[in-house]
A and B are shown apart, each in its own frame.
Chain A
Amino acid sequence: MIEVKDLTFSYGKSKQTLHGIDFTVEKGEIFGFLGPNGSGKSTTQKILTGILKGHGGDVGLFGKDITKSYNQEFYQNIGVLFEYPYLYANLSGLDNLNYFISFYPKEQRQDIEVILERLEFKKDYIKKPVSSYSKGMRQRVSMARALMTSPKLLFLDEPTSGLDPAGAVLFRNIIEEERKKGTTVFLTTHNMLDADLLCDRVAFIVNGSIAVVDTPKNLKEENSNQKIVIDYMLKDKREKKIIKACELTQGILFPHDEIVSIHSQEPSLEDVFIQYTGRGLS
């Protein structure tokens, strides 16, 4: 679906933002693009969506070189959720969506009210101006805009930003459902939980270069010390013991009265990110 080879980009002559990045995204895959502010995430997404021109290297989307494929048909096949919910504040959510959907062919359009219901949008607000919406409601309308045209490729920038925990879970479920329908998702985020729960593979980008591309599971396993922490009670006293994961197959052999908890020492995706890049995401 997406093929990027030796991608470079400079803002002006002296400010090189991307230093030859390579990655591929398969059809129906959720690909996470993770990096701190200023790392080149947004620049890459803008190149892929055709907003920024003048890149170096090869970029292919839908099996075509992007320099030749930015046309009406290309834009009909993608859906984009921006980091901020850009909407006409003086129009209602419904008017916004009716306006944006009008640029797409009729056979591609979905029922707006069904999508808003799927996103658990409050019905009372559907005809009220966007200026009266909370951030979460605006994010729902923006997500509806990205989904309402049945895109083959979805670009999602911080999709759960501004949502409460229940809203974040709902959005993750919807993204998962989209993937099941065969939609490819390019997810740009700071949120390691989203990346960990949703992405088939993630790329860590720092200072315009990709440090690693792999599945979250592999990344965590490869960087794990393979140890397990066991908390237990012995003679009314709480004790802690660290053992190798492989030792657990033989059972818990040390003396104990009661096991309180067992925790693997697998690193979080953020720990792995710091290990690879030497810096955090925020």
Chain B
Amino acid sequence: MEYSFISLLKKDFKMMLSSKFLLLIVASLILYSLYINLVYIKIDQDIYPVYLLDPEESIQNASSQIIRVDNIKELQSRTSDGYAVGIDATGLEPEIIMVSSGLDSMDNIRTAYAYSLLSPGQSTPAEVIGQNSKEMKNRREITSEFLFFELAAVGFLGLASALFKEKHMGVIRVHGVMPVSKSLFIFSKLVLFLLTDLAFAFLLTIINLGLEKGISVLPAVLVQTILLSLIMALLGFLCAVRLPDFKQFSLLYLVLAIFITTPVFLVGQTSITWNWVNYNPMYHLFMAIKNAYFGMPTDEPIYYIVCVVSIVSLFMLAYKALTHEMAKEG
């Protein structure tokens, strides 16, 4: 049995090499890391610039961050980008001049910020949450997103494409009349793709969070990687065995990417709030990875129970689908 497993593993590794999947993984790792280090951590916008029109210089103790302008035309011109905020202090009460961002909440924040700069001494000090610098927060955030994407989309596709090849070549049927267990046939693929995903998660984390910060979150990240990798690999296996051709599989892949994963990113990374997203299992898996990267791993037993039950159920379904495929006509 041990020898059979090694044979299966070796064969699956050769299949993986010939499909250039490892190359894709390495390319993804390089691309993600370059994007994080060269682009993402540098794209944060500066805080809203605030312009003040106060020809009488009636406001004496305004913050040094305020930029004074000479006339109303200049004020209007400087605030025409929908981002900067202007204060017209020519009247009795200072008046805010700005182009709306389109979001009331955002406009209110801009207004409050501009007013706070008029009398900086009276500002309430902000409560500091966590110990991350802005750059580290960005690194953790984007690394968790890339890992989730890689496991959910690329891992799913990788196993399915390898299996489609075997299905197309008809060799799955040959295993049905050989002294090899169907469970081992599935298991060897899972182990191989899991090891690849774990190596990917390890490298992505260390490269982008650094050795010290990376190692501190790695155990929790790897636990979440194991769960998501197994679930996605089994889903990929099931789809590849049950669906008749790659065209239908591609359609399903598109549905998964657009309708299941996109809302997860939107809710998880922006200010959008959709309560129904709680019913999307991918949201919980994404948040678990994100929380692991922020050093707050999910500790709810129900989450882990549901994950394990899902993996066992998917394995049983994959076993049944494989048995059915082996009995098909040529």
Contacts and interface: CB of A to CB of B under 8 A. Distances in A.
Interface stretch (A57-65, A83-91, A200-208): A83-91
B242 interface: no
B178 A82 contact: no
Nearest to B15: A90
A80 B329 CA distance: 15
Contact of B179 (A83, A95, A104): A104
Contact of B176 (A51, A84, A102, A104): A51
B169 interface: yes
B179 A76 contact: yes
Contacts of A80: 174, 177
A23 interface: no
B179 A103 contact: yes
Contacts of A72: 179
B85 to A, nearest CB: 62
Contacts of A88: 11, 15, 166, 169, 171
B12 to A, nearest CB: 11
Q: Kindly state the interface size class of chain B when it binds its partner.
A: 20 to 34
Secondary structure call for the A interface: loop
A75 interface: yes
A51 B177 contact: yes
A51 B178 contact: no
26 contacts: A49-B176, A50-B176, A50-B177, A51-B173, A51-B327, A52-B327, A72-B179, A80-B174, A82-B173, A82-B330, A86-B173, A86-B174, A87-B171, A88-B15, A88-B166, A88-B169, A89-B169, A90-B15, A91-B14, A95-B14, A99-B10, A102-B4, A102-B7, A103-B4, A145-B174, A155-B177
Interface of B: 3-4, 7, 10-11, 14-15, 18, 165-166, 169-171, 173-174, 176-180, 326-327, 329-330
Interface of A: 42, 46, 49-52, 72-73, 75-76, 78, 80, 82-84, 86-91, 95, 99-100, 102-104, 145, 155
